[in-house]
Amino acid sequence: MASGEAAAQALPDGVHHYDNAKQVPVQLSKYWRQRHEIFSKYDEGVWMTDDAWFGVTPEPVAKKIADHVATASKDKTVMIDCFAGAGGNTIAFALSGRWNQIFAVEKDEKTLACAKHNAEVYGVSKKIFWIHGDIFQVLQTRLKAALKKAVVFGSPPWGGPTYINYGIFDVEMMHPYSMKALYGSFSATATHVVLFLPRSSDLKQIAKYARKDEKLKVTHYCMHSFSKALCVFFGQFETK
């Protein structure tokens, strides 16, 4: 679908495309000012729910993560984006051209509608299989057969923007899914797992999840000389 056609579609209830600052709720003003860093094609009709603004990965960061995740061992040909949100990471994975199959899972129906639409804006929607559901159930059912060849990527909810109030963030306090819950579920079904976590996450806590004789790779992703977040890589990746 051409971007002009995508922009012309009617917006579902609870989904927005804010055209000017007067339309934007006060709590979203900071994020809206960064809209072109979040989605460079925002003006071409990107859709968002109000909650999605808090969790979407800025486009330059999503692209760099996609580059790093693409260095997984060559037998990994399937990408599973566990918390697709408004599509920032999923779109970057599709644009990379690395994956034979990409599955994007999102629990919230309106947010999933945004992700699908935004992928249309970027011209990659047909490269992605969209799944509305709970990731923990989906991994045990619909995607169970794909896990052997998959990299499981998780950018989970962090419990809102309050994480910035902590000098060192307790990853077991993430809401609604703790580090223990995420790692326990994903590592039980996949050998290659990447988790996108707050920049201030407690590295000592994270290190406890390393397998025997494994040295975890942790990469910070920065914009304007400041870390936005970090990724923890479980499995064989060639990131530096």
Alpha-carbon distances of 4 from 8, 68, 120, 134, rounded to whole Å = 6, 32, 10, 32
Query: Which residue in this structure is represented by tokens 């925002």?
Result: 42
Read off the pLDDT of each residue in 93-112 and give the average, rounded to a whole number.
98
Distance CA 159, CA 173 (A): 8
Task: Give the residue-averaged pLDDT of 53-75.
Answer: 97
* Angle, alpha carbons 174-203-28 (nearest 5°): 40
**184-221 residue pLDDT tens:** 999 999 999 999 999 999 999 999 999 888 889 999 99
Model confidence over 153-169: pLDDT tens digits?
A: 999 999 766 667 778 99
Predicted confidence at residue 4, as pLDDT, reads 45
Predicted local confidence at residue 214, as pLDDT: 86
Is pTM beyond 0.85? Reply is yes
SS3 of the chain: helix, strand, coil, percent, to 5: 40, 20, 40
Cα–Cα distances (Å) from 31 to 27, 35, 114, 178, in that order, read 8, 6, 17, 25
- Among 43, 39, 49, 60, which Cα is nearest to 4's? 43
Q: Structure tokens of 46?
A: 């990107």
Mean per-residue pLDDT of the chain: 93
Which run of H or E residues covers position 189?
Answer: none
CA dihedral 78, 79, 83, 89 (to 10 degrees): -160
The answer to whether residue 112 scores a pLDDT higher than 50 is yes
In the numeric block, the tokens 């000592």 are attached to: 204
The angle at the Cα of 156, spanning 210 to 53, to the nearest 5 degrees, equals 145
What's the CATH code, domain 58-109+121-234?
3.40.50.150
End-to-end CA distance of the chain: 37
pLDDT > 70: percent of the chain: 93
Task: Check whether 67 has a pLDDT greater than 80.
Answer: yes
